[in-house]
Chains A and B, each alone.
Chain A
Amino acid sequence: MSPEPSSGGIKHGFSGAVYAKCGENRVKVVGRDGTTGIFDGIGQWIEGELYDVDPQMCVWVSAERIATSHRLSKQD
C-alpha cells in the first residue's frame, strides 16, 4: 500500500500494530497479521483493509515531532 512511511514506526503495546507517519496528517498502521490501513491524525480511516485503530497513537505519531526531549534537553 502507498504511501510509504516518512518516519520510523512505533509498536503499540497492546495490539502489536506498528504506527508510522506517512506524510502530513496521515498515519500508516500495519497490524500484527500484516494487514494495513491509512488513517488521519485523529484515527479516521482513509483506506486499507485494517479498520481498528488507536486514535491516540495516531495523535502521537502525526504530531509535529519535536526533537528536544523534556527528559534529556540541556539547560542553557
Chain B
Amino acid sequence: MALTPDDLTDDLPLQRSPGPTWQDKLDEDVNKIPEYLRTESPYLNGFEDIPKDRYLSREFHELEKERLWSRVWQFACREEHLPEVGSYIVYDIADQSYLVARVAEDEIKAYPNACLHRGRMLKTYDGRCSEFRCPFHGFAWTLDGDIKHIPAEWDFPHLEVRSEEMMLPEVRVGTWAGFVFINPDPNAEPLEDFLGPEVIKHFERWNLQDRYVAAHASKIIRCNWKIANESFCEGFHVNATHPQGMSYTGDPQSQIDVYGNVARQLSPKGIPCPLLPYTPTEEEMLRDALDVREGEDLPVPFEEGDTLRGVLSAAGRERFRPTFGDGVDQMGDSEFLDAWVYVVHPNFQPWGAFNRIVYRFRPNGDDHETCIFEMMYVAPFSGDRPPPAEVVHLGVDDPWTDATGLEKLAMVAEQDTFNMEQVQRGLKNLRREGVTLSRYQESTIRWKHDLLTDYINRGPVQL
C-alpha cells in the first residue's frame, strides 16, 4: 500500500536490509560474544532534512564555537602523551587552545592557553616543563596553576592585592580508557555520566587504557569537520565508495545503536552486500577482504569448508595473543573481524574490540570550510609501554598512503577522502535546503544533528 505523508511518523514499522543480520552471523560464530554486547537500541527521530547551512555558514560555525566546543567533553590526547609530571600538550579546537598537563603522578589539569599578563599563548607546541613561563615578559606559573614569578614585581602593586586573579583558570578534565578529555564548561556533567554506563561497560573488556598509539596521521581536508566526520557514521556508502569491499562487507546489515551521547555501528564481515547481483564464495570474500588480486595467492591457509569469519577471527586471535595474552580465547569471533564503530558526540570515534582504529575530526583552526581529520591505531603491547607514535602531518594534497603505519586502511581512507571536498563544493550548488538521510542506515547522522541542536538550543555557556 502506498504511503501518505501522515504515515511518516516514528510509528512507521522500521525496515531493515534484506539478508542475514549481524545478529544472525553472531549466532553462527563458534566463539560468541556476551549478550550485553548484542543489545539493540535503534534511533528514530523523524524524516526531516539536515539544513545545508550547518556545513556552509559562518554563522553556524560561530554557534558551534559558542555553544558546542565551549561545553562538550572532547578528546584532547591519550594519557600516554603525558608520561611524566610536567609533560604537556597543546590542544586546539576552532579558535581556542588549551594546555593539558600532567601536574602530579596521578593528576592531569587543563588551562586556557593564555598568559594572564598580556595574553600571549603560553605554549605553542607539546613538551615537558617544570613551570609555565611566558616567552613574552617572563610571568611564570607552577604546574598547578599558581602564580610563581612576576618579573619586576614592584611595578605590579595591584596584582599583590588581586593575586587570586593570577591563578591559571582551570578547565574540567576527565579520563576514560586511556583517553584524556577536557570540557571548558565548569557546570558540565561528569565525563562518566556523559559516556553512560552501557558504553563504559562495553569497553571494559577491551582494555584500551593498556594500549599505545602505534600509528597516528593527521590530514587537512577542504570540507567542514562534520562532512568528514559523517563519512564514517554510516556504512551505506560502501556500495559506491568502497566497491572492492562489497563482496565481504554486509554494511547494509549493520546494526546501529544509540546510547545517549554515544552511538555505535556494527558492520559484519563475511556477508555479501545484498545489492550485489551474485553470491560470492567464502574464498572470494576472503580474497577481497585481504586485497588479493587476479593471479595472486591468498596469504593465509584456506581449505574446503572454511569461512571468512572463521579464518579471519582465528588469524586475529593469534595476532593479538602475544600482546593481549590468552584472554583472546575468551573473546568472540566478531571482536576480531567485524567493524565496531563507536561514535562519541561530537567528533570522536574510538572503535571497539580489536579494530584499534581511532578517528577525530576538528575544524582547522577558525576555518569552517577546512578540517583536520586524524587517524590513529591504539594497539596492545607486551612488556614496557612503547612511546606513542609521532604524528605524520599530511597536507591537503598528500595521500593517506604516505602514512604507511596505517597499513591498508590508508587506501580505504583515500576513497572516503575523495568524497569529502566534493560534498563541501556540491552543497553550494544544491538546489535544496538540506540533505536527506536514509531512515536506519544513516540514523547516526540524524542523532548527531539532534544532539548538536540540543547544544545550540541551550544558549551560550554560563561561565
Contact = CB atoms under 8 A, between A and B. Distances in A.
Interface of A: 7-14, 18, 20, 42, 54-57, 59-60, 63-66, 68-76
Given A56-B240, A56-B241, A59-B418, A13 B411 contact: no
Contacts of B316: 71
A9 B294 contact: yes
Given A10-B244, A13-B273, 12 more contacts: A8-B295, A9-B293, A9-B294, A10-B288, A18-B294, A56-B242, A63-B411, A66-B406, A69-B408, A71-B316, A72-B315, A73-B319
B293 A13 contact: no
A74 to B, nearest CB: 6
Contacts, number: 101
A13 to B, nearest CB: 4
Contact of B244 (A7, A60, A76): A60
A33 B276 CA distance: 19
A75 B276 contact: no
Given A9-B294, A68-B408, A73-B407, A63 B243 contact: no
Contact of A60 (B275, B312, B411): B411
Interface in B296-353: 296, 299-300, 312, 315-316, 319-320, 322-323, 337
A67 to B, nearest CB: 8
A70 B242 CA distance: 16
Nearest to A74: B319
B404 interface: yes
B198 interface: no
Given A13-B243, A56-B241, A63-B414, A75 B323 contact: yes
A10 B411 CA distance: 15
A10 B294 contact: yes
A66 B415 contact: no
Interface of B: 240-244, 246-247, 273, 275-278, 288-291, 293-296, 299-300, 312, 315-316, 319-320, 322-323, 337, 356, 377, 379-381, 399, 401, 404, 406-411, 414-415, 418
B389 to A, nearest CB: 14
A31 to B, nearest CB: 15
A44 B243 CA distance: 18
Contacts of B404: 66
By Cβ-Cβ distance, the 7 closest A-B pairs, closest first, are A8-B293, A8-B294, A64-B401, A70-B407, A8-B295, A68-B407, A13-B246
Contacts of B277: 13-14
Contact of A14 (B242, B276, B290, B356): B276
A41 to B, nearest CB: 9
A54 B356 CA distance: 30
Given A56-B240, A57-B243, A75-B380, A42 B418 contact: yes
23 contacts: A8-B295, A13-B247, A13-B273, A13-B276, A14-B246, A14-B277, A20-B293, A57-B243, A59-B415, A59-B418, A60-B242, A63-B399, A63-B410, A63-B414, A64-B401, A66-B401, A69-B407, A71-B290, A71-B337, A72-B299, A75-B320, A75-B323, A76-B322
B445 to A, nearest CB: 20
Contacts of B296: 8
Contacts of B290: 69, 71-72
A40 to B, nearest CB: 13
Contacts of A60: 242-244, 411, 414-415
Nearest to A75: B323
A74 B319 CA distance: 6
Contacts of A55: 418
B242 to A, nearest CB: 7
A31 B299 CA distance: 28
Given A54-B243, A72-B319, A66 B407 contact: yes
Contact of A10 (B240, B275, B293): B293
A69 B319 CA distance: 12
Contacts of B295: 8
B243 A56 contact: yes
Given A9-B293, A42-B418, A66-B408, A72 B243 contact: no
B400 to A, nearest CB: 8
A60 B243 CA distance: 9
A8 to B, nearest CB: 3
B349 to A, nearest CB: 15
Contacts of B246: 13-14
A42 B296 CA distance: 25
Contacts of A10: 244, 288, 293-294
Contacts of B411: 60, 63-66
